[in-house]
């Protein structure tokens, strides 16, 4: 069995509510809404932890973002 990095481990344990083709979905700064979470509105896919810290920016699926200064690609094994 291969060893997982802490980020890879969290990706397997913290399952997102939905997936999206939004640019933020591939960013390390996105914290997705977790499965079976009742709190956020239906259109929110997660929160950006890099913009407006400590008051995170909500990312809605319908927001059109083509480029972001804070974007940092997730590492894929």
Decide if 8 is inside a domain.
Answer: no
For the record, the structure tokens of 2 come out as 């291969």
Domain carrying residue 40:
15-71
The whole-number pLDDT of residue 71 equals 92
The mean pLDDT of 35-60, rounded to a whole number, is 81
Decide if 10 is inside a domain.
Answer: no
H or E element, residue 15: none
The whole-number pLDDT of residue 76 equals 66
Q: How many domains are contained in the chain?
A: 1
The mean pLDDT of 58-76, rounded to a whole number, is 85
Placement of tokens 């995170």 in the chain = 56
CA dist., res. 63 & res. 51, Å (int): 15
Decide if 3 is inside a domain.
Answer: no
Q: How far is CA 66 from the centre of its chain?
A: 16
């Amino acid at each position: 069995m291969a060893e997982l990095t802490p980020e890879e481990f969290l990706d397997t344990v913290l399952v997102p509510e939905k997936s999206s083709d939004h640019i933020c979905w591939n960013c390390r700064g996105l914290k997705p809404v977790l499965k079976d979470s009742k709190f956020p509105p239906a259109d929110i896919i997660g929160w950006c932890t890099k913009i407006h810290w400590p008051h995170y920016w909500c990312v809605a699926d319908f927001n059109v973002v083509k480029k972001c200064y804070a974007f940092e690609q997730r590492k894929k094994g």
